[in-house]
Amino acid sequence: MERCGWAGPDQIYKEYHDTDWGVPEYDSRALWEKLILDGFQAGLSWLTILKKRENFRAAFHGFDPNIIAGWGEDEVQRLLGDAGIIRHRGKIEATIGNARAWQKIEQEQGFDRFLWGYVGGRPLQNRWQSLGEVPAQTPLSVQISKDLKKAGFRFCGPTIVYAFMQAVGMVNDHLVTCPRHAQVARMVVDRGRA
């Protein structure tokens, strides 16, 4: 199997590439979790986050934004003392604020519909031949980033948002030489009519 070149030799990275990355995600809570993890990844490698993902899930109560939205300084201090996660006060505080922003969007229209509306409910199918062609951000990720920030989100710049869009399958950025490109393309669900 000729995987995308970013999926290095670590087994956890290969499994993530082969089973998770690029698969269209339509669950509001799962989308929020992935956006939060992408925010924690800023300045670090994704491999670091993958290795700590289960610790994050335990520390953040399964990434339930309805629980996290009610947190305050006591929880921030608890998380700052948790060596199993990335202990960054700004990112932890942003997660709490992002949970509150998620609640508002979820109540108004659904976080899933908010995000998938940018691509008409269907993943954009890119056809990159090499990693060098894959952008770090796009005009669309810039727009989504602006709209998320306007809604109260933090740690969601255009590069983070594009990485998120790739991870949750809003764009299919597996290289065309990777078997996952065709597999993921077949997973398209028309959410525009849902």
Query: Residues 146-158: pLDDT tens digits?
Result: 999 999 999 999 9
Is the confidence at residue 67, as pLDDT, over 90? yes
Average pLDDT over residues 36-57: 96
Tell me how far CA of residue 70 lies from CA of 28, 74, 76, 81, 103, in angstroms.
18, 11, 12, 19, 11
Burial track 113-151 (b if 16+ CB lie within 10 A, e otherwise): bbbbebbebebeebebeeeeebeebbebbeebbebbeeb
Question: Is residue 193 very low, low, confident or very high in pLDDT (cuts 50, 70, 90)?
Answer: very low
Confidence (pLDDT) at 189: 63
Alpha carbons 98 and 156: distance in angstroms, whole number: 10
Confidence (pLDDT) at 89: 98
Cα 61-64-66 angle, rounded to 5 deg: 120
> Is pLDDT larger for residue 111 or for residue 187?
111
Residue 87 is classified by DSSP as: -
- The string of DSSP codes covering 144-163 is HHHHHHHTT--S--HHHHHH
pLDDT tens by residue, 7-43: 988 999 999 999 999 999 999 999 999 999 999 999 9
